[in-house]
Structure 1
Amino acid sequence: MDGRVHVHKLRFLTFEESWKLFDLKAFMNMQWVVDEDLHRIGKEMVQKCDGLPLAIVVLVGLLSKKRPNEGHEVYASVWRFLKDDYIHISTVFYLSFNELHHELKLCFLYLSVFPEDYEIDVEKLIHLLVAEGFIQEDGEMMMEDVARHYMEELIDRRLVEAVRRARGKVVFCRIHYLLRDVAIKKAKEINFVNVVYNEHHSSTTCRREVVHHLMDNNYLCDRRVNKRMRSFLFIGEQKRMLGSYVKTTNLKLKLLRVLNLRGLLFDCEGYIPFMSLPDVICELIHLRYLGVADTGLRHLPSLISNLQFLQTLDASGNRFEGMTDLRRLTSLRHLMGRLLIGDAVNLQTLRCISSYSWSKLQHKSFKNLRDLEIYRAEKSSFGLEFLLYTEKSSCLNS
């Protein structure tokens, strides 16, 4: 808007730049250079990408899963879908997407629930995918390992970008906004998820609903109840949700498997007892994932033991008074928050447990524990409690 500022005009790649990008990404890992015919085919496909880097990279991802003698099949498929004599990104996407097996398609479409350019926490994504029922155990591999393998395959196919890695694993990932657009389009075609931008976009048929930005707090209290809903998520910047309330009468969704209300407060019949988890949530007996981080909770009711199928409980960021006994929740796999846990053989993640509580547990029963975070509570000179993290370890069983 300021005419004094230089505007850098983005341009498309030249053919030489396009071929260099393709050659770097594809032939480095594939033995195509010995086949002059496939070399020629590669150059023709790159020419049709018309200098668009994303189309080139996704095309490489498609070819990376092919044997050298299958390159002609990709070539023929691309040519069948040519429009305006160049390759549209949607064409390459659908060719790649159609080759995915059913579970991998679901995992990719699930990425459309996140806002544009959102850096996705892969660990939390894996917990959601498992809770949704998209992942099945494969031999000796646990569901979380299978889900991580799926994410790595999507990254290898260039459908997802790895933003940050640690210890050889992807920690954060992101989906390109153009790929996200075509993923949203595909998700709408099969009624996979409904993204709500305001109260007029609420659905009474879609099984998954996600809200990114709370433009009108009345939506949280006045929204129509979808009895068929399986997943209900709030995803976005927490500061935008500050002071926002969700009416608990709208949470009477008996079939719900996934509920994420991070950063929200609970409005219960005209008053706000947000210090306790509403009983209506404890009646959602099919819940696999419950996200109540940063909701101002002070304690959890004993009725939470009704959630016998609960796999993930994220209650981080809350200052609980006393400890809630979760020993009856034997299906728990991931627990984040200052809560008391019993001897849970399925537990893989345990974060923010006090050193005292940890010392009282039978550690030998935690055979699957991979991620442990222990704190020691101290008193400051002002009488305020603060936390000292004395031990944090990942991959304990590796």
Structure 2
Amino acid sequence: MAESVVSVVLGNLNNLAIQETTFLCAVTLEVNLLKEELMRLQAYLKDTDNKWRSGNARVAVFVKQIRDAAYEGQNVIEAADYMEKRNRLKRGFMGAISRYARLPSDLVTLRNIGVEIQSVRRKLAEIFASAENLKIDLDHTAAALVEDELPRDFSLMHQNSEDDIFMVGFQYQLTEIVDKLVGNEKMLRAVSIVAMGGAGKTTLARKVYTSSKVKQHFDTVAWVTVSQTFKGIELLKDILKQITGCTHQSVDQMQEYEVGTKIHAFFSEKRYLVVLDDVWETDTWEQLNTTVKAFPDASNGSRILLTTRKEDVAYHVQMPTHVHPLQKLDKEKSWELFSSKALPSYRRSLIDDVEEFEKLGRKLAEKCDGLPLALAVLGGYLSKNLNIQAWSYMLLGWPSTKDTQMMRDILARSYKDLSSQNLRSCFLYLAAFPEDFEISVLHLIQLWIAEGFIPHIPNHKLEETARMYVTELAQRSLVQVVHRSKAHGWIEKIRIHDILHDWCIEEARKDGFIDVHDETTGQASASSSDSLKSYRCSLQNAGDLILQTRLHLRTLVGFQLSSVPKMSFLRVLHIENSNLTGIDRVIGGCINLRYLRLRRCSELKLTSSITKLLYLQTIDLRGTLMCKRKYMPKSFWHIPSLRHVYISEFSAVRSVQQNDLQTLIIDHFFNRDVKFISQMTKLTTLSFFPGCDVDDMWYIFANMPHLVDVSIGCFQEYTEFSGHDIVIKGDPIAILEKLRCLVVLKLEGFNGEIMSFSAQGFPQLRELVLHRCSPEWRMEHCQNSLTLNCMISSG
């Protein structure tokens, strides 16, 4: 993974404004020499990985030196780049001086930077000497270096349906469980699906949960994942949010008694289904009903669906229970699942000796012992290695152990076969999220980009390449697809199976890629060596004391924290569900921050220090309680690197110096904001809830030709509908339908005139939602199938 570190550092340096600076010649030369030496260093790393993993202590020291020097070099060069960016943004007389001359303070900074670069170069010289002593062949390894490439067969990957593939052999069991849930028994009953890890419990339960028969039978449904680290109050809050539609802020402030009482009252009048996925402990049901009996028996046919690995857990629910042991796949169903992944239909026509592959494939499928996860991951791996020799070697080298170890061996092979080091880093990054966490692909992509994992590939945006990475991971069954966009076709939410999650944590620990701490389970994955410190950390209910010795961190992902110490080199800060104190002082000192997401946090006070974050790409403050001032400082909008902004409100400025913003999600929008937002001509996603005084907002779309997703109304996750409809003047469709790239349009809460859709409008529209819209709407006869295929939901 040290190779990834240097690769990422070099990629980041190439994107800096360093090439355009007016440095003193000596410093510019030092910067270029340092970059050349880092590139040379990268060539060594191909030969170190096997030696390091084999336990060679000297190589371990070598790897540590590489990582430390690479990051130190980046810190130094970015200090110079930051000074240049800061001077460009200065205004007035001092701004002119700093752009055309050097202030005394700049000269001091440059002198210090030159000294620090020389220090790093001396360390690199020592590393090169160490490489020679370790007999690492530079010429041999340099030849192995290749440029990053796109995932193979990407254009065809979407043809596989992950859900349908995983349901191979489960159709009969699906029918049986659904029948048990919708049966005639009136009293509250439970159905428990029991099987070992990787057998498909969650997949089957999800199919049951989303089946049309279940949706029609129950008045309300809720799904929560319990896992080993659950907290009863958090599960109850999640259920309450799902069944009532209450906002996160209002529910998060409730005590357990209030939450339980509200759930009980709601369920008393409904026929409900609650799914408890991945239950580990026998006392889970008792913990959920400790304060108040949240799940009443109203004698109306309500049900609990539970999945677990343990039979005693299945029988411990205090109600009549039907236990359904999930059977492993038989020989034929195993082959059907394996072949759908390893030999998909779109590849079979290209294979000359497909019969030979089938012969080997049947033997390999039988080795997987009927476990769907093993069959899917192995099939995904072999689909990328369609040659007889590779399949034969896999069969000959099959591990003698079963189940868990077998899965680990398959995972290791699939991981090493990923198409690039960048993609491997992206996969290991999933260890940063809690077990069974539902991961937003959009947010994950923004994290990967901020980390520098996504390479610049000609004719491809970073986001496009990142989505290809997600698709390859899904095609290999290394992640589970939770939700796809019907309009776009791309994957929107994923989850990683707990077996794969555990493997990711262990692999990340070996590489010193990321430290994961979870105080709830007592688990703490530190790096494989005390000397190999990690520059990334994920804290999951782990308190704050651990951070005091990690001030060098470049990435912090945290859940349920109470404070964050100052960390000068932080690039990524992702915090959720935390009551933070003093976080504004921490943020102001992290001048290298690329990604800032504070979701459902409190005690945030915005200050002008946020304008120091000149590298900031993504900021998301939704659901976070603001102290006093809730507007972004006006100078914030002059940060040149901004790409994605999610906020509640802002105070508009006359002009904005950057127009590369791609995403703007804002809760409240007023007349004063119209002119300001209209300057953001590169937006692809825009969502806002207009105030009642907005009467000419439609004109903001006149200069936004790149818009793909538009939501207007109360679509934000944390916005409660204000209770009044918005009276609009004129027909908004006349302007919106001219957006040539628009794929999704959602309008909510409007009360005005006729909306008329012309025959030539909306050439790319796939999804149209009109909710609580009282005006009459008309659509002309149109030959454009793209328009006719719109999904319309009218409230």
Q: Counterparts in 2 of 1:119-130, with a 5 A limit?
A: 119-130=438-449
- More displaced 10-residue stretch of structure 1: 177-186 or 197-206: 197-206
Tell me: CA distance 1:50–1:298, structure 2 relative to 1, closer, same or farther (3 Å): closer
* Equivalent position of 1:90 in the other structure: 408
CA RMSD of aligned residues (A): 3.2
- AA paired with 2:335? W
Structure with greater Cα Rg: 2
1:191 matched to 2:512: yes
Contact 2:606 2:631 in 1 (8 A): no
Name the CA distance, whole Å, in 1 between partners of 2:599 and 2:638.
21
Name the CA distance, whole Å, in 1 between partners of 2:672 and 2:587.
26
- State, as a whole percentage, how many aligned pairs show the same letter: 30
1:220 matched to 2:544: yes
Tell me: CA distance 1:35–1:201, structure 2 relative to 1, closer, same or farther (3 Å): closer
Tell me: CA distance 1:64–1:388, structure 2 relative to 1, closer, same or farther (3 Å): farther
Deviation at 1:2, TM superposition (A): 5.0
Selected match of 2:639 from 329, 351, 355: 329
- AA paired with 1:212? Q
Name the CA distance, whole Å, in 2 between partners of 1:234 and 1:310.
19
Contact 2:577 2:601 in 1 (8 A): yes
1:63 matched to 2:382: yes
* Equivalent position of 1:290 in the other structure: 596
Task: Output the TM-score relative to the length of structure 1.
Answer: 0.82
3-state SS in 1 of match to 2:504: helix
Q: Counterparts in 2 of 1:201-280, with a 5 A limit?
A: 201=524, 205-213=533-541, 219-220=543-544, 223-235=547-559, 241=560, 245-246=562-563, 248=564, 250=565, 252-268=566-582, 278-280=584-586
Q: Counterparts in 2 of 1:308-387, with a 5 A limit?
A: 308-318=614-624, 321-325=630-634, 326-337=636-647, 338-340=649-651, 342-352=656-666, 354-361=669-676, 363=678, 365-367=680-682, 369-378=683-692, 386=722
Contact 2:380 2:475 in 1 (8 A): yes
Tell me: CA distance 1:124–1:144, structure 2 relative to 1, closer, same or farther (3 Å): same
3-state SS in 2 of match to 1:254: coil
Deviation at 1:88, TM superposition (A): 1.0
Name the CA distance, whole Å, in 1 between partners of 2:571 and 2:498.
28
Deviation at 1:5, TM superposition (A): 2.6
Deviation at 1:336, TM superposition (A): 0.3
Tell me: CA distance 1:114–1:293, structure 2 relative to 1, closer, same or farther (3 Å): closer
Contact 2:426 2:448 in 1 (8 A): yes
Q: In the comparison of the two structures, how many residue pairs are matched?
A: 369
Name the CA distance, whole Å, in 2 between partners of 1:388 and 1:344.
35
Name the CA distance, whole Å, in 2 between partners of 1:16 and 1:389.
58
Q: Counterparts in 2 of 1:103-114, with a 5 A limit?
A: 103-114=422-433
* Equivalent position of 2:472 in the other structure: 153
1:53 matched to 2:372: yes
* Equivalent position of 1:14 in the other structure: 330
3-state SS in 1 of match to 2:464: helix
- More displaced 10-residue stretch of structure 1: 9-18 or 73-82: 73-82
3-state SS in 2 of match to 1:308: coil
Name the CA distance, whole Å, in 2 between partners of 1:394 and 1:47.
51
Name the CA distance, whole Å, in 2 between partners of 1:180 and 1:312.
26
Deviation at 1:33, TM superposition (A): 8.7
Contact 1:132 1:257 in 2 (8 A): yes
Tell me: CA distance 1:111–1:222, structure 2 relative to 1, closer, same or farther (3 Å): closer
- AA paired with 1:127? Q
Identify unmatched segments of 5+ residues in structure 2: 1-315, 694-719, 727-731, 744-763, 765-795
Name the CA distance, whole Å, in 1 between partners of 2:468 and 2:453.
13
1:29 matched to 2:331: no
Name the CA distance, whole Å, in 1 between partners of 2:373 and 2:523.
34
3-state SS in 2 of match to 1:131: helix
Name the CA distance, whole Å, in 1 between partners of 2:657 and 2:379.
48
Contact 1:165 1:172 in 2 (8 A): yes
Q: Counterparts in 2 of 1:138-177, with a 5 A limit?
A: 138-166=457-485, 167=487, 168-177=489-498
Tell me: CA distance 1:92–1:113, structure 2 relative to 1, closer, same or farther (3 Å): same
Contact 2:506 2:525 in 1 (8 A): no
Deviation at 1:297, TM superposition (A): 5.3
Tell me: CA distance 1:97–1:9, structure 2 relative to 1, closer, same or farther (3 Å): same
Contact 1:299 1:324 in 2 (8 A): no
- AA paired with 1:332? L
Relative to total residues, which structure has the larger helix share, 1 or 2? 2
Deviation at 1:257, TM superposition (A): 0.4
Deviation at 1:85, TM superposition (A): 7.6
Name the CA distance, whole Å, in 2 between partners of 1:191 and 1:220.
20
Contact 1:376 1:387 in 2 (8 A): no
Name the CA distance, whole Å, in 2 between partners of 1:145 and 1:376.
31
Deviation at 1:24, TM superposition (A): 3.5
Tell me: CA distance 1:79–1:172, structure 2 relative to 1, closer, same or farther (3 Å): same
Contact 1:112 1:184 in 2 (8 A): yes
1:44 matched to 2:363: yes
Name the CA distance, whole Å, in 1 between partners of 2:680 and 2:725.
23
Deviations 1:269-290 (A, max 9, x none): xxxxxxxx62331111110011
- AA paired with 1:7? V
Name the CA distance, whole Å, in 1 between partners of 2:436 and 2:317.
25
3-state SS in 1 of match to 2:637: coil
Contact 1:262 1:292 in 2 (8 A): yes
Tell me: CA distance 1:310–1:152, structure 2 relative to 1, closer, same or farther (3 Å): same
Tell me: CA distance 1:208–1:130, structure 2 relative to 1, closer, same or farther (3 Å): same
- More displaced 10-residue stretch of structure 1: 252-261 or 343-352: 343-352
Contact 1:263 1:295 in 2 (8 A): yes
Deviation at 1:185, TM superposition (A): 1.5
3-state SS in 2 of match to 1:29: helix
Deviation at 1:14, TM superposition (A): 1.4
Deviation at 1:150, TM superposition (A): 0.7
Contact 2:580 2:602 in 1 (8 A): no
Contact 1:343 1:361 in 2 (8 A): no
Deviation at 1:223, TM superposition (A): 4.3
- AA paired with 1:288? R
3-state SS in 1 of match to 2:538: strand
